[in-house]
Structure 1
Amino acid sequence: MSTRPTKVDGRRLRSERTKQLIIEAYLALAQDLSPRVPTAAEIAEKAGYSVRSIFERFPDVRALQVAAFDYCFAQILALAPPRGADGDRMSRIEAYVRTRGQTCERWARLWRSLVVNQGDSPELKERIRLGRTRVTDRIEHMFAAEFSMMEAEQRRQTLIVVEALTDVESWGRMREFFGLSFDDACHVWTQTIDRLLPKSSGEAA
């Protein structure tokens, strides 16, 4: 009786480790193959497990996509927590832009694959909505002082524009189509947001 819980816990830990490795294999392939969704056979080969091992842990590839998004979302929250919201206007703009740029740089291809292949999945649609809501929440948090200077409709319109400006596809066009460096792309966003957001009377002077 004293050894049984240890064996069960060890089996559970191995199963969870296998599940994580399968998710990581999916993410690596999704980045490389975007926007195509990798097949179960490709994922199994990448992870070093059998296809059966995948379907023992996920009912289908769509469920694996959902789990992978949740894993990425947790990574983003851990690696890019809100910071710099107490700084002056320009430091807040620069902090938001650099954090957002780093997120887009790392996850752009995966996000594109998710959006393209969401199909009629309510789970994936909800996670895409949550991802976008997180961005708008961050914008409102970082620029609360500037938004407080606007009327409700102007605030709404500005939020929409800033969210669209700092979308993954916007970042991709700057980096891939226009060939901008990371710093140059951040500079474009910074300068544009600076023009969009109002300045206090002291800053304007």
Structure 2
Amino acid sequence: MKIIGFPVDVSRSQDGRIVRGLRTRKALIQATLDLIQAGDVEPTSAAIATIAGVSSRALFQHFTSLADLYAAAFDLAVSRAFDGNRPIDAAAPLASRIELLVADRAQLFEEWLPVWHFAERVRSVAPAVGSGVVQLRRLLRERLAGWFEAELSNLDAGAHDLVLDSLDLAFGLDSWMNMREQLRLSPVHASRTWRFTAQAIVLQALTAPHQPVAAA
């Protein structure tokens, strides 16, 4: 999956200024994403304007600051990569769901690495990107809860939260980043490691009886 294209249809507008404005905005956001995908973790206004084929002045006519443009690019990237409404086959066997989860997230997170580096770099100068990261983490956690709803629903409240926290830790973006960049595993090796973790630990956590968790 490439982060390309743009989900705004201006073909029916009769106002030439609106059409040109939206196209310029589209070009600026797309240029930002193109630079991010190419490894630029903090694209400059000059670089973005050059790739978009517009002047730096035009950039700041559409975005009051680079932070606003960064936030728009991040939001668009999230909307394309992470579909919160994607259906989950909760009736599938647990082993099948684990396999699908590993395959899905390995591919997704590998493609997302450049955007993640960008988000980590600019979140201090673009607070909206930092907020977007928090929302993305929440979305990924909610997806995990839905993925394993059948098993989690059988646990008491304490065990439910403990297991979901463990799943979130094991299958979050940080886990993939650690395997790829700290351990320097290949995408294939990292996927196998995830699968082993799921089969050896997660499967047991979701099927074994749990004792009530004492309050901290």
Pairwise same-fold verdict (TM > 0.5)? yes
Q: Name the structure 2 match of 1:166.
A: 171
CA distance in 2, matches of 1:53, 1:109: 26
8 Å CA contact retained: 1:80, 1:99:
no
Q: 2:147 aligns with which of 142, 160, 183?
A: 142
Q: Name the structure 1 match of 2:61.
A: 56
Q: 2:189 aligns with which of 184, 187, 200?
A: 184
Amino acid at match of 1:104: F
Q: Name the structure 1 match of 2:131.
A: 126
Instruction: Rate the CA distance shift 1:129–1:177 in 2: closer, same or farther, 3 A.
Output: closer
Where is the helix percentage greater, Structure 1 or Structure 2?
Answer: 1
Tell me, which stretches of 5 or more residues in structure 1 are unaligned?
none
Tell me, which stretches of 5 or more residues in structure 2 are unaligned?
1-11, 210-216
Q: Name the structure 1 match of 2:33.
A: 27
8 Å CA contact retained: 1:149, 1:198:
no
CA distance in 1, matches of 2:133, 2:103: 22
Identity in percent: 29
Equivalences for residues 1-205 of structure 1 within 5 A: 7-8=14-15, 10-34=16-40, 36-78=41-83, 81-119=86-124, 121-194=126-199, 195-196=201-202, 197-199=205-207
Amino acid at match of 1:199: T
Amino acid at match of 2:93: D
> Quick check: 42-51 or 110-119, which moved more?
110-119
8 Å CA contact retained: 1:37, 1:113:
yes
Amino acid at match of 2:35: L
Instruction: Rate the CA distance shift 1:146–1:78 in 2: closer, same or farther, 3 A.
Output: closer
- 1:38-90 CA-partner distances (Å, limit 9, x unpaired): 11001111222111121111111100011011111210245992433331101
TM-score by length of 1: 0.82
8 Å CA contact retained: 1:175, 1:185:
yes
Aligned residues: 195
TM-fit CA distance, 1:7:
4.5
CA distance in 2, matches of 1:15, 1:63: 16
Q: What secondary structure does 1:198 align onto?
A: helix
TM-fit CA distance, 1:94:
1.5
Instruction: Rate the CA distance shift 1:82–1:105 in 2: closer, same or farther, 3 A.
Output: farther
CA distance in 2, matches of 1:175, 1:82: 28
Instruction: Rate the CA distance shift 1:103–1:164 in 2: closer, same or farther, 3 A.
Output: same
TM-fit CA distance, 1:122:
4.2
TM-fit CA distance, 1:132:
0.4
8 Å CA contact retained: 2:36, 2:115:
yes
CA distance in 1, matches of 2:176, 2:107: 10
TM-fit CA distance, 1:104:
0.8
CA distance in 1, matches of 2:189, 2:178: 13
Aligned-residue CA RMSD in angstroms? 2.5
TM-fit CA distance, 1:186:
2.1
TM-score by length of 2: 0.79
CA distance in 1, matches of 2:44, 2:152: 45
